[in-house]
């Protein structure tokens, strides 16, 4: 009987130990999982802070490229852009994408000095993507920064993506020309149409940069979608038909093209849109075209904006991919 009592007390003590150990273990597990959750939340916040830092670096990079410089820098900045770098929903030719990675030093033109990246990020697994629509909105760049934390950080491998859009001074808000009653010039008189009455505040240098961007991205008269802005410096006779009623073009023959005599437009070449000669030499050549109020150079700007500087697009910040 005594032996049975001993067994019972041993059994009871063992059960108590088991129960208390189980409770202790469950408590520890609970605390540990809470600790892990809390740590992961902190790592995610740290990764987000680093991605924001990289985004700010990219914004400052754009600002330094475009502020107070000749707009011709635009083509140098996008020199290594490629449509193949675009994310999957933006594969058509109008999208221009430039991937900025530290491992690919020389992404930018040598004239453009690069800002240093944040120390916390894992360089081979991080990148910045600059994206814009060269046809409809060449003045609006979407920047997407994607980072992974490096091994110096406690949350090594944590990833985050953040994006924001910027306005760049490559065009200007369209202002319709003020129609003033002007006396009709005599047929022999040759007065070129004033630039501002046709193009508003957008400058020749800006339209030239847009034309270069479209050509740089592979847009042509036969591509889908087609090129809409043509800045021509060549004095050779123009033989290509351009534009359609749904997609009229702007064809500008520059001062350079018109240095001696503006280029002629071949009789078989039909231009739908607007042809503009920067020189009075144009009057020597007859131009046959279907004149349309080409909107190829009308870009969507918010009302009242000062388009001469780099600005963030309000409400465009997102912490996600495309």
Partner 1 sequence: MPFHHLLKHSQAGFTVLEALFASVILALGLFGSFQLSTASMAAHQSQRNLDLASGLAQDLAECWQVPSAYCISQFQSSQNSSTLSTEAGIQFKRSWNTTSISTQGTDPMLLQNLKISVKWPSQDKFNSTSELSWQIRRASTPTWVGL
The contact set with partner 1 (CB under 8 A) reads: 1-2, 5-6, 9-10, 12-14, 16-17, 20-21, 23-25, 27-28, 30-32, 34-35, 38-39, 42, 45-46, 49-50, 52-54, 56-57, 59-60, 62-64, 113-116, 118-120, 166-167, 302-305, 309-314
* Residue nearer to partner 1 on the CB measure, 195 or 301: 301
> Minimum CB separation from partner 1 for residue 270, in Å?
40
Residue count of the chain: 322
CB of 229 within 8 A of CB of 273? Answer: no
d(CA 214, CA 232): 13
Measured at the CA of 250, the angle between CA 241 and CA 78, to 5 degrees, comes to 105
223 half-sphere exposure, CB direction, 13 A CA radius: 16
Contacts of 110 (CB under 8 A, 6+ apart): none
3-state secondary structure (DSSP) of residue 299: coil
Structure tokens at 105: 């030093």
* Residue nearer to partner 1 on the CB measure, 31 or 259: 31
Measured at the CA of 278, the angle between CA 274 and CA 279, to 5 degrees, comes to 125
* Residue nearer to partner 1 on the CB measure, 87 or 302: 302
* Residue nearer to partner 1 on the CB measure, 1 or 222: 1
d(CA 54, CA 118): 6
> Minimum CB separation from partner 1 for residue 7, in Å?
9
């Amino acid at each position: 009987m005594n032996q049975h009592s001993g067994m019972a007390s041993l059994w009871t003590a063992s059960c108590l130990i088991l129960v208390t150990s189980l409770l202790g273990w469950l408590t520890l597990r609970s605390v540990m999982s809470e600790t892990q959750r809390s740590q992961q939340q902190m790592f995610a916040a740290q990764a987000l802070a680093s991605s924001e830092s990289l985004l700010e670096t990219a914004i400052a990079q754009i600002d330094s490229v475009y502020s107070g410089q000749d707009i011709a820098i635009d083509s140098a900045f996008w020199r290594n852009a490629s449509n193949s770098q675009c994310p999957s929903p933006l594969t058509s030719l109008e999208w221009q994408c430039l991937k900025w990675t530290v491992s690919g030093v020389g992404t930018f033109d040598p004239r453009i000095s690069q800002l240093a990246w944040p120390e916390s990020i894992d360089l081979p697994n991080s990148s910045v993507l600059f994206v814009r629509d060269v046809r409809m909105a060449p003045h609006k760049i979407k920047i997407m920064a994607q980072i992974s934390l490096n091994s110096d950080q406690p949350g090594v491998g944590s990833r985050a993506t953040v994006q924001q859009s910027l306005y760049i001074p490559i065009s200007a808000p369209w202002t319709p020309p003020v129609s003033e009653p002007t006396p009709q010039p005599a047929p022999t008189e040759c007065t070129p149409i004033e630039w501002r009455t046709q193009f508003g505040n957008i400058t020749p240098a800006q339209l030239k940069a847009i034309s270069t961007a479209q050509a740089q991205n592979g847009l042509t008269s036969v591509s889908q979608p087609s090129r809409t802005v043509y800045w021509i410096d060549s004095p050779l006779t123009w033989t290509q038909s351009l534009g359609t009623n749904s997609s009229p073009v702007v064809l500008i023959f520059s001062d350079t093209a018109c240095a001696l005599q503006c280029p002629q437009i071949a009789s078989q070449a039909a231009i739908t849109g607007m042809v503009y000669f920067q020189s009075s030499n144009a009057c020597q050549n007859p131009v046959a075209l279907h004149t349309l109020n080409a909107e190829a150079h009308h870009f969507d700007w918010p009302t009242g904006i000062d388009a001469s500087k780099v600005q963030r697009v309000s409400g465009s910040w997102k912490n996600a991919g495309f």
